[in-house]
């Protein structure tokens, strides 16, 4: 009896599903699509990392494809012309974000600026971020924070090398270093010092245990943010939380918000606090307009968006420089010529060393911080590339695929900074930070920070691979394109910078 009921239920569900799919396809002109399965749609095709799967689908079915993530209709754009159309002609119509369960607090509120739908609240927090916190004037004013943190990194690397080389063969001795940990800590320090005047990594840390918990929560949440949650696309599974990711995310976010709330309260109660921080600026300018919850949301957004992305970009840069020592040598020579060896490079020097800029552009071409950007969702019916995109459809733009398109780039898989020399790449489509209304507001900060960190590592130290084998460039799975294998390298102070480093 139970078997018959199960069969009848399955048949009924299949009929409902087929009717739903037919009603969707009969009234709209859909792009090409792979075969679809009931209930799970095209989820059966997915292997990590997701942008690789979507690239393979696009190569077979074309620059715009229709997929179904469980119950969600999804369009994937893999063409520069169509991507440009999305973010110019239809920018407002595609300005929403899909309200995924994994992108919400346990109380149902959306996590961060990036995940909020287009509307008054998003415009308000976006304006705060772009005008009052991350404007060129504010970034210039906070340049000292980044300079201090990068100098501290150089000092600690030199001190660590010097301690280990005692009793060795001399200054030619090289020390092994795992880069992601120190770069992640540096990025977190820069943000938290700018935001709240408090360091979370390195020496002279207040409340070591508390900052350690916060640092670990940021690190883990950055990793989990790239985990695919089938519960987002198959609603019936939401109550089960099969892999436990959603529950763990909620716990980590709660932990971070508690720490952020404590930082805000410290600023509010300490009237003698004269530190120039983002929290202090917001409260001083408009204490009523910037509610505690709004400030918490802005800070959480900046932490989630600005730590892992910057450190990953620098890791990818160093990995490719290690595999291309001639590029590393050329970059060091440029810095020696235009900056010299009697001081550390600073942010104002970046304009004097264009080849360093070409390296960063090439890294962002090959390894964009968000290879699929954050997904968009249509606010109304639109037509893109002769295909109908109905209201409520999720949209992915595969920036990773576009940046490696052989129809646009010569030798697209090769790391070649010279392709940007003297404006050679002008007019070629690159959007590592997105485009239009939802373009990343932290682009200016990221470029300054990565440029300064990378310039300092090149100026101050010699680098080589730990073995004769090329560095493994396999990509890990995650929203921010992490490297699958942690990057280790051998380093030593450059002879020309020994005096400067000794004086830090």
**Is pLDDT at 226 greater than 90 in this prediction?**
no
**Is pLDDT at 424 greater than 80 in this prediction?**
no
Integer Cα distance of 10 and 4 in angstroms: 10
H/E segment holding residue 376: strand 376-377
Q: State pLDDT tens for residues 308-332.
A: 899 999 999 999 999 999 999 999 9
Confidence band of 490 (pLDDT split at 50, 70, 90): very high
In the predicted model, what is the mean pLDDT of residues 179-198?
A: 89
Confidence band of 27 (pLDDT split at 50, 70, 90): low
DSSP string for 71-117: TEEEEEE--HHHHHHHHTTTTTTT-B----GGGB-TTS-B-TTTTSP
Integer Cα distance of 502 and 498 in angstroms: 6
Dihedral angle computed from the Cα positions of residues 292, 294, 297 and 300, in that order, rounded to the nearest 10 degrees: -60
Q: What percent of the chain is predicted at pLDDT more than 90?
A: 55
**Is pLDDT at 137 greater than 90 in this prediction?**
yes
H/E segment holding residue 331: helix 325-338
**Is pLDDT at 279 greater than 90 in this prediction?**
no
**Is pLDDT at 139 greater than 80 in this prediction?**
yes
What does the pLDDT read at residue 318? 98
**Is pLDDT at 12 greater than 50 in this prediction?**
no
Q: Tell me, yes or no, if the pTM score tops 0.85.
A: yes
Structure tokens at 298: 């802005």
Q: Which residue has the higher pLDDT, 227 or 284?
A: 284
Quick one: the chain helix, strand, coil %, rounded to 5?
A: 55, 10, 35
What does the pLDDT read at residue 99? 81
What does the pLDDT read at residue 241? 54
Confidence band of 68 (pLDDT split at 50, 70, 90): very high
Q: Across all residues in the chain, what is the average pLDDT?
A: 85
3-state secondary structure of 409: coil
3-state secondary structure of 491: strand
Separation in Å, CA 459 to CA 290, 333, 463: 42, 9, 11
In the predicted model, what is the mean pLDDT of residues 285-301?
A: 76
What does the pLDDT read at residue 326? 98
**Is pLDDT at 20 greater than 60 in this prediction?**
no
What does the pLDDT read at residue 256? 80
Q: State pLDDT tens for residues 143-183.
A: 999 999 999 999 999 999 998 876 665 567 899 999 999 99
First to last CA, the chain: 80
In the predicted model, what is the mean pLDDT of residues 49-65?
A: 95
Give which of 492, 456, 180 is closest to 344, Cα–Cα. 456
Q: State pLDDT tens for residues 378-387.
A: 999 999 988 9
CB half-sphere exposure, 494, CA atoms < 13 A: 24
Confidence band of 296 (pLDDT split at 50, 70, 90): confident
| Runs of H (alpha helix) within 372-422 | 399-403
Give which of 274, 277, 297 is closest to 105, Cα–Cα. 297
Q: State pLDDT tens for residues 385-418.
A: 889 999 999 999 999 999 999 999 999 999 999 9
Q: Which residue has the higher pLDDT, 16 or 68?
A: 68
Is 184:202 a contact under the CB 8 Å cutoff?
Answer: no
What does the pLDDT read at residue 1? 47
What does the pLDDT read at residue 34? 96
**Is pLDDT at 41 greater than 70 in this prediction?**
yes
Tokens 């200054």 belong to residue? 171
Confidence band of 240 (pLDDT split at 50, 70, 90): low
Confidence band of 251 (pLDDT split at 50, 70, 90): confident
What does the pLDDT read at residue 238? 54
Integer Cα distance of 390 and 239 in angstroms: 28
In the predicted model, what is the mean pLDDT of residues 81-98?
A: 96
Range with the poorest average pLDDT among 58-67, 199-208, 348-357, 482-491: 199-208
């Amino acid at each position: 009896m139970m078997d018959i009921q199960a069969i009848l239920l399955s048949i009924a569900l299949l009929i409902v599903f087929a009717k739903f799919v037919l009603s969707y396809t009969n009234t709209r002109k859909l792009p090409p699509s792979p075969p679809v399965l009931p209930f799970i749609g095209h989820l059966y095709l997915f292997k990590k990392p997701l942008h690789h799967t979507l690239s393979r689908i696009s190569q077979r079915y074309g620059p715009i494809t229709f997929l179904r993530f469980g119950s969600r209709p999804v369009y994937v754009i893999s063409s520069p012309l169509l991507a440009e159309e999305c973010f110019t002609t239809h920018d407002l119509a595609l300005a929403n974000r899909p309200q995924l369960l994994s992108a919400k607090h346990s109380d149902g509120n959306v996590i961060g600026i990036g995940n909020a739908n287009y509307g008054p609240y998003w415009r308000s927090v976006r304006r705060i971020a772009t005008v009052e916190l991350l404007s060129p004037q504010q970034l210039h004013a906070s340049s000292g924070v980044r300079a201090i943190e990068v100098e501290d990194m150089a000092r600690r690397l030199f001190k660590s090398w010097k301690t280990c080389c005692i009793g060795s063969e001399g200054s030619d001795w090289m020390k092994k270093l795992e880069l992601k940990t120190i770069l992640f800590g540096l990025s977190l320090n820069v943000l938290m010092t700018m935001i709240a005047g408090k360091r979370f990594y390195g020496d002279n840390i207040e409340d070591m245990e508390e900052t350690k918990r916060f640092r670990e929560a940021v690190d883990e949440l950055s990793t989990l943010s790239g985990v695919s949650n089938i519960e987002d696309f198959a609603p019936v599974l939401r109550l089960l939380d099969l892999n436990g990711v959603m529950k763990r995310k909620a716990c980590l976010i709660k932990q971070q918000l508690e720490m952020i709330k404590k930082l805000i309260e410290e600023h509010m109660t300490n009237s003698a606090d004269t530190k120039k921080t983002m929290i202090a600026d917001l409260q001083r300018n408009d204490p009523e307009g910037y509610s505690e919850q709004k400030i918490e949301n802005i800070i959480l957004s900046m932490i989630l968006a600005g730590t892992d992305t910057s450190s990953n970009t620098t890791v990818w840069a160093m990995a490719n420089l290690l595999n291309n020592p001639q590029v590393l040598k050329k970059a060091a020579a440029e810095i020696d010529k235009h900056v010299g060896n009697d001081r550390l490079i600073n942010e104002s020097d970046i304009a004097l060393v264009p080849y360093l800029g070409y390296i960063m552009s090439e890294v962002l071409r090959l390894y964009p911080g968000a290879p699929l950007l954050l997904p968009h969702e249509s606010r109304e019916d639109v037509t893109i590339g002769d295909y109908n995109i109905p209201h409520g459809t999720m949209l992915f733009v595969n920036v990773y695929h576009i940046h490696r398109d052989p129809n646009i780039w010569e030798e697209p898989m090769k790391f070649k900074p010279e392709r940007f020399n003297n404006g050679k790449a002008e007019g070629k489509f690159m959007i590592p930070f997105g485009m239009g209304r939802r373009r990343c507001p932290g682009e200016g900060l990221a470029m300054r920070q990565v440029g300064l960190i990378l310039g300092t590592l090149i100026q101050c130290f010699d680098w080589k691979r730990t073995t004769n084998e090329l560095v493994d460039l396999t990509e890990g799975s995650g929203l921010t394109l992490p490297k699958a294998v942690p990057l280790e390298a051998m380093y030593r102070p450059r002879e020309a910078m020994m005096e400067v480093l000794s004086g830090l």
